[in-house]
Amino acid sequence: MYKNFTQHISPNGIYFHHSLSLGKSGTYAAPVTNESHSLIEVSFLVAGKVDYSVDGKIYRLTPGDIIIVNALELHSLFIDPTTPYERMMIQ
């Protein structure tokens, strides 16, 4: 089962995003591919294994890792479906 929780923190567009997956194959969200945002994105991996592709370079994250993606930078997110996944993101 996959759940997304988004909570706006301030009126200027900064928000907190929480993603959670139980890690059973086929029950996670499809990869996020080639997206960009007008704001910097800071993600903290709580649990699981995730590959971030940022401008064509792959970063393999493990729990406790933080990744910062610059504004307007193309990035993709690939979640390993064999492990539980949890990520917190501020943008």
- The string of pLDDT tens digits covering residues 19-64 is 666 655 544 455 677 888 888 989 999 888 888 899 889 999 999 9
pLDDT at 81 over 70: yes
For residue 20, give the 3-state DSSP assignment: strand
Return d(Cα 12, Cα 71) in angstroms, integer.
Answer: 15
Burial degree of 54 (CB within 10 A; 0-12, 13-18, 19+) = middle
pTM recorded for the entire structure: 0.74
